[in-house]
Amino acid sequence: MMKEKFKNHIHTLQNTITKRLEEIDGKATFKEDKWNREEGGGGITRVIENGNIFEKGGVNTSAVYGVLPKVMQDNLGVSFGNFFATGLSLVLHPNNPFIPTVHANWRYFELYDKDNNLVDQWFGGGQDLTPYYLFDEDAIHWHTICKNSCDKTNLNLYPKYKNECDKYFWNIHRKEARGVGGLFYDYLRPTQDTTLDTLFNLSSTVGNSFLEAYLPIVECRKDMAFNQSQKEWQEIRRGRYVEFNLVYDRGTLFGLKTNGRIESILMSLPPNVKFIYNHEPLPNSEEAKLVEVLKKPKNWI
């Protein structure tokens, strides 16, 4: 069954990612918290804090099921049934402001009728990069791996999902992107031309490429010296990250409205953030260079 296949995949991926992140950090290890959902299912939350490289981060998996909550019924336009949802979600907030924050999520959903017959199923997910200082070569590398992982399924997918990512991770009230984007896709259903296994292969290929996309950037930037002013800029920009997650992010809002596990939902928030009134970077500074790029999505490759 696909739900078991995908659940096994994300658990394996969780182990692979957390093991490699611990190795590169060299100090902190992931604290594991297994939890159960009263309505059905549960998950494994793994959080890393106060490391050499990662100030805070989480790599979480869940597999939940039960009666479809009212808010989901409204979103999906149905008035019945049960559901099953499983996925992996990760966020990493580095200490060094020259290393970008990164977010990724890969998920699978099934919907059943009143008699528990499968009536719908789809994949969703993606990954995006949020730098505090812009290095073009990092963004190019990130997008190259994103493109390569999509191209293994279909050469038309990367530009489509890259565009969807640019539209989704957009702070409307700020008129700026959260970062330099990546991939975003949702409601990928099997069709006459695309099998369920093809969609699984796409999602698993993207997920399996995550370390290849992110860790070379970490390795390149982790030993760069930074000062207090640059750290403060990182914390100011983290504020924009928080704004997006609490105002627009579907996953965060869905979790808060459906009695989700609060600690796992808010794991994505950074530990130290600054909100400074009407802050503007100095003209022609490296900080201003980043903000200028975020005002309009860019094709990096």
What's the average model confidence in pLDDT over 273-297?
95
CA angle, 26 then 89 then 161, to 5°? 115
User: Distance of CA 42 to CAs 7, 87, 183, 211, 288, Å?
Assistant: 12, 11, 27, 26, 43
pLDDT for 256: 78
pLDDT for 100: 98
Active-site residue 141, yes or no? no
pLDDT for 244: 94
pLDDT band at residue 52 under the 50/70/90 scheme: very high
pLDDT band at residue 80 under the 50/70/90 scheme: confident
pLDDT for 118: 94
What's the chain's average pLDDT?
94
Question: Which is nearest to 269 in space by CA: 256, 258, 257, 281?
Answer: 256
pLDDT for 95: 98
Instruction: Reply yes or no on whether the pLDDT at 255 is more than 90.
Output: no
What's the average model confidence in pLDDT over 30-58?
95
Helix ranges (DSSP H) in the chain: 2-25, 70-76, 136-151, 157-168, 196-208, 210-221, 228-247, 250-257, 262-265, 286-294
8 Å CB contact between 13 and 105: no
Instruction: Reply yes or no on whether the pLDDT at 71 is more than 80.
Output: no
Percent of the chain surpassing pLDDT 70: 100
What's the average model confidence in pLDDT over 207-228?
98
The pTM (predicted TM-score) of the whole model is 0.95
pLDDT digit string, tens, across residues 108-154: 999 998 888 999 999 999 999 999 999 999 999 999 999 999 999 99
Tokens of 39: 């309505």
pLDDT for 68: 82
pLDDT band at residue 264 under the 50/70/90 scheme: confident
Instruction: Reply yes or no on whether the pLDDT at 29 is more than 90.
Output: yes
Calpha distance 253→256 (Å, rounded): 5
Active-site entry in 9, 103, 141, 143: 103
pLDDT for 262: 84
pLDDT for 108: 97
3-class SS of residue 10:
helix
What burial letters (b/e) apply to 32-66, b meaning 16+ CB within 10 Å?
ebeeebeeebebbbbbbeebebbbbbbbbbbbbbe
